[in-house]
Structure 1
Amino acid sequence: MNDDTRAPHFLLVHGAWHGSWCWRELQDHLTQRGWTSHTVDLPSVVSEGADGKLPGLMDDARVVREVIDAAEAPLVVVGHSYGGAPVTQAAVGAANVAHIVYVSGFALDVGESLMTCFGGDQPDLSTVEGVVPVRENPETTLYNDVADDKRDAALARLLPQSALSFAEPVSRAAWKTVPSSYVFCDDDQSLPPAYQEPFAQRTGTTYHLPSGHTPLLSMPDKLADLLVGIARSSW
């Protein structure tokens, strides 16, 4: 058990198309190990049929920062996949963020967005509306190593993601000033390791899990052990 009242808590930030529900099993493992965790629901994940001007990355970052500022303990902030982008924006200047962990996450640099970080063109943000639908073949791209029952339950809960969240660039980058680590997902079919590498190089320490894109569902026990190890070293 972890008896130090000043030990960090975890703030878990989900990726595109997901919600705080995806962390539940990992949170149970963290609780069993004596650690406190918090989640947030990003407003860029929208309801079916949503259209027009929708919340973007900056809205997500604002919500994440509100949770950071309200925390009563130091935080290890964990950003999974897209969730790494609003974390990168939100954690700058937050004195209570002890560490950032990117899990196959987008550790963007200033001026980068999900649309441009691999060489795409930056659109005029005033014209960006609507949603990015759940990516093709999510049962393999997102959940290739997730047990069938958990995979099917997750697939049923996925929702559209606002296009603006993929188009908005970050204006600051927390990994430049906050100690950070990167967790490679070595069997990732959504963001393969070669695409994770540029983001990992921006962090101080790298780790590996033999997982697909979503280890929080496929191997939450192993991810919990890894996160606890990182947290112990951060305070």
Structure 2
Amino acid sequence: MSGNAATPENAHTPENAPGDSRRWTRKRMVVPALLALTVLVVPVVATAASATPEAPARVSTTAKAPASTTAKPTVVLVHGAFADASSWDGVVKRLQRQGYPVVAVANPLRDLGGDSAYTSSVLDGIPGPVVLVGHSYGGEVITNAAVGHPNVKALVYVAAYAPDQGESGLTLTGKFPGSRLGANLVTHAFPVPGGGSDVEGTVNPVAFHEVFAGDLPKSRAAAMAATQRPVALAALGTPSGVPAWRTIPSWYLVAGSDLAIPAAAERFMAKRAGAHTIEIKGASHVVMMSHPDRTTDLITAAAKATS
């Protein structure tokens, strides 16, 4: 036997046959490499599995995270006579920038009962708390519409009527001197469903700036006069029902130079309702247009106080 005779170990190893020594060396190197790769792959697969929705650790971390903010109440704005929902534009923009949901109601201006019922139907469709705001005749509407709506947390009157039971806008205006609206009202007949007619009124365009919007530029007041919406006179003369302000906290903005609803009447109604009140000296009847910042501040104060 020569010195190259096979040992018992390699005598039964075909891979160690002549010419295959390099293949055996490569296999001995590959096996440890595969084992090492397996060690690396297993944790990666485990990590990927833990990222699936079934992994308790991930679910508990995200699903139970507390909310960072509290939902804000919806602000519902109701315009008054001789105006439309665009009169709230400046206030709407400011409220939306602060994250408040806003609905500006298209008040029909036909009769107090129907207008209140329509606004009440809008409230029916709003989930969560509401801050209900009215301007001018819109104050009469919110006084009646809010009754029976526990989600209405605050009433805000902006140079608005806040009647007690049995009162109307016309009777409240007549109790205090200073209004120039009646003398500058232009009336028109309009048809009613079922036949016949009723009477509606608009503000004489010649006097609109002075009576209605004295602290706005004349050009803007002229555009408002041209686009004003008439109100049925019966709506202004209809007695109000049980007032919501008796049970719902209220806020009031008095327009100090109002020539439509006398400022003295506004102060009287605000005090009677126990409202949180501010007054802006020199402000006209459309104070929410001439002072949108102050108006918005009052509405957000009501929202924060009742949240």
> SS of the residue aligned with 1:108?
coil
Inter-partner Cα distance in structure 2 for 1:184 and 1:135:
24
Query: Match for residue 133 of structure 2?
Result: 78
Work out whether 1:68 is the aligned partner of 2:123.
yes
Deviation at 1:206, TM superposition (A): 1.2
8 Å Cα contact 2:159/2:252 also seen in 1: yes
Query: Match for residue 207 of structure 1?
Result: 278
How big is each residue's C-alpha offset from its partner over 1:35-56, in whole Å with a ceiling of 9 and x where there is no partner?
2211111112xxxxxxxxxx31
Deviation at 1:234, TM superposition (A): 1.6
Work out whether 1:232 is the aligned partner of 2:304.
yes
Residues 1:128 and 1:119: Cα distance change in structure 2 (over 3 Å)? farther
Inter-partner Cα distance in structure 1 for 2:170 and 2:254:
21
How big is each residue's C-alpha offset from its partner over 1:75-118, in whole Å with a ceiling of 9 and x where there is no partner?
11111011100111111121100000111111101111122235
Query: Match for residue 50 of structure 1?
Result: none
Inter-partner Cα distance in structure 2 for 1:149 and 1:3:
43
Residues 1:151 and 1:234: Cα distance change in structure 2 (over 3 Å)? same
Alpha-carbon RMSD across the aligned residues, in angstroms, is: 2.1
Residues 1:176 and 1:135: Cα distance change in structure 2 (over 3 Å)? farther
Residues 1:3 and 1:148: Cα distance change in structure 2 (over 3 Å)? farther
Equivalent in 196, 202, 206 of residue 133 of structure 1: 202
How big is each residue's C-alpha offset from its partner over 1:162-196, in whole Å with a ceiling of 9 and x where there is no partner?
11111211122111111111111112222232121
Work out whether 1:14 is the aligned partner of 2:79.
yes
> SS of the residue aligned with 1:129?
strand
Work out whether 1:97 is the aligned partner of 2:152.
yes
8 Å Cα contact 2:202/2:228 also seen in 1: no
Deviation at 1:202, TM superposition (A): 2.3
Inter-partner Cα distance in structure 2 for 1:153 and 1:28:
20
Work out whether 1:194 is the aligned partner of 2:264.
yes
Q: Percent identity?
A: 31
* Structure 1: 4+ residue segments shifted above 3 A: none
Range with greater deviation from structure 2 (88-97 or 213-222): 213-222
Query: Match for residue 154 of structure 1?
Result: 224
Query: Match for residue 16 of structure 2?
Result: none
TM-score, length-scaled by structure 2:
0.66
Work out whether 1:28 is the aligned partner of 2:83.
no
How big is each residue's C-alpha offset from its partner over 1:130-181, in whole Å with a ceiling of 9 and x where there is no partner?
1122257121111111134432332221021111111211122111111111
> SS of the residue aligned with 1:18?
coil
More helix by share: 2
> SS of the residue aligned with 1:153?
helix
Q: Which amino acid aligns with 1:28?
A: K
Work out whether 1:220 is the aligned partner of 2:286.
no
Inter-partner Cα distance in structure 1 for 2:265 and 2:211:
14
Residues 1:181 and 1:134: Cα distance change in structure 2 (over 3 Å)? same
How big is each residue's C-alpha offset from its partner over 1:188-215, in whole Å with a ceiling of 9 and x where there is no partner?
2222321212211222221122321112
Deviation at 1:33, TM superposition (A): 2.0
- Any stretches of 5+ residues in structure 2 without a counterpart? 1-67, 176-195
- Any stretches of 5+ residues in structure 1 without a counterpart? 45-54, 121-126
8 Å Cα contact 1:134/1:161 also seen in 2: no
> SS of the residue aligned with 1:183?
strand
Query: Match for residue 176 of structure 1?
Result: 246
Deviation at 1:17, TM superposition (A): 1.3
TM-score, length-scaled by structure 1:
0.85
Query: Match for residue 4 of structure 1?
Result: 70
Inter-partner Cα distance in structure 2 for 1:119 and 1:144:
21
Inter-partner Cα distance in structure 1 for 2:280 and 2:169:
23
Inter-partner Cα distance in structure 2 for 1:145 and 1:132:
23
